[in-house]
Chain A
Amino acid sequence: MSDLEIWIVIVALAVSTAITRSGFWLVGHRVTIPRRVNEMLRYAPSCALAAIIGPDLLLEPESLQVTLLNGKLLAGIASVGWYLWRRNMLETIVFGMLFFTALRLLHLF
């Protein structure tokens, strides 16, 4: 692609961000969402977060193969345990990264 074409792509992507993220903010008050749908939407944030991290924890990135014994999943489980114990997010992230790095350097997984 030429430089100009890439810049057009970048602007097009910025527009797609604006439509999806800001669309409802701009016209939402003219749309009435049914009560049932609204109730269901309450669960959207947690489900979206789960859907974002699911593949990173469970899949081999190259082959898309499910692996239950991998460093990220184990570090993820250990981190949830740490978080439930300490209730401190920053500590949990540092602990999880150290745990993951240790597993990687020791070639355990």
Chain B
Amino acid sequence: MNKASDVVTPDPAAWRDGVRTGIPTLFGIGAWGLVVGVAMIKSGLTLPQALGMTLLVFAGSAQLASLPLIAAGAPIWVIFTTGLVVNLRFVIFSALLAPHFRMLPWYQRLHLGFVSGDISIALFLQRYPDPAPSKGKLSYLKGLLYPNWASWQIGSIAGIFLGNVVPAEWGLGFAGTLAILCVMVPMVASRPALCGVLVAGGVSVLAAGLPYKLGLLAAVLVGMFTAMAVEELGDRFAAAKGQP
């Protein structure tokens, strides 16, 4: 039986495993960061402001959402609220991840939560769906999170300096979409998950016009409910046929 101490004991093999799992996604993350970096500098932020924003905020969609508000001189509380709403999906993610690492001191939990990105969390939960203690978990998570953070920052800072050199029509941000596709495909192996993903994608498109990226949150919620309903129906169907 694994103990809580096993989770936090540094495990170089697990760290390398995490890095290896994440490496293929880093290219997409970096390209995505590049796009956000270009957007920041093009929206009129000064060099120090753009650098400060990428290093302190580390939330691509919230940064993109805030740029037009900053340009329009919106009140600070409005921008703050927008940041909260755009990031709401991370509340769900942190609810999933936090139970794995509740034994850590608070500053480590604060720090790990802050640097966790969508793709890293999805990859981590693929490997460790169960919050029960398991050897090398923390090292594996760090192997995913730190390179992910670094490639985002490198891409973003490159974008800030390249500024107007990269033409928008190259569509570099599409590399981020492709990285997400690759992470998502293995996750839809079951029928409920597939239904949830299709519905979430559909709702995100239909609700894309909602303010504060609320369409994203609506899509996640409706997708989750759909997956759950399909799972439930499948269980009942199996029970009716006399299968376990």
Contact = CB atoms under 8 A, between A and B. Distances in A.
A21 B183 contact: no
Contact of A9 (B28, B76, B183): B76
Interface in B175-210: 175, 177-185, 187-188, 192-193, 196-205, 208-209
B24 A25 contact: no
Interface stretch (B1-9, B10-18, B107-115, B158-166): B107-115
A52 B122 CA distance: 13
Main secondary structure of the interface of A (DSSP, over half): helix
Interface string B82-106: 0110011111111111110110001
Given A1-B70, A22-B109, A48-B89, A13 B180 contact: no
B73 interface: yes
A75 B174 contact: yes
Contacts of A72: 171, 174, 177
A108 interface: no
Interface in A15-55: 15-26, 28-29, 33, 39-55
29 contacts: A5-B76, A7-B49, A7-B52, A10-B52, A10-B56, A12-B80, A13-B59, A13-B79, A18-B114, A20-B94, A21-B93, A22-B109, A22-B114, A23-B94, A40-B228, A47-B227, A48-B216, A50-B200, A50-B223, A51-B89, A51-B216, A55-B208, A76-B177, A83-B182, A93-B178, A96-B174, A96-B175, A96-B181, A100-B171
B211 interface: no
A17 B59 contact: yes
Contacts of B146: none
Contacts of A17: 57-59, 62, 83, 87, 114
Given A40-B228, A93-B179, A59 B205 contact: yes
A102 interface: no
A88 to B, nearest CB: 7
Nearest to A87: B186
Interface string A82-106: 0110001110110011001100100
Given A48-B92, A89-B182, A25 B97 contact: yes
Contacts of A48: 89, 92-93, 118, 122, 200, 216, 220
Nearest to B92: A44
A80 B95 contact: no
B38 to A, nearest CB: 15
B204 A51 contact: yes
A60 to B, nearest CB: 10
B27 interface: yes
Given A11-B56, A13-B53, A21-B87, A51 B200 contact: yes
B191 to A, nearest CB: 12
A69 interface: no
B84 A16 contact: yes
Contact of A24 (B79, B83, B94, B106): B94
B147 interface: no
A42 B114 contact: no
B25 A89 contact: yes
Contact of B112 (A15, A25, A39, A42): A25
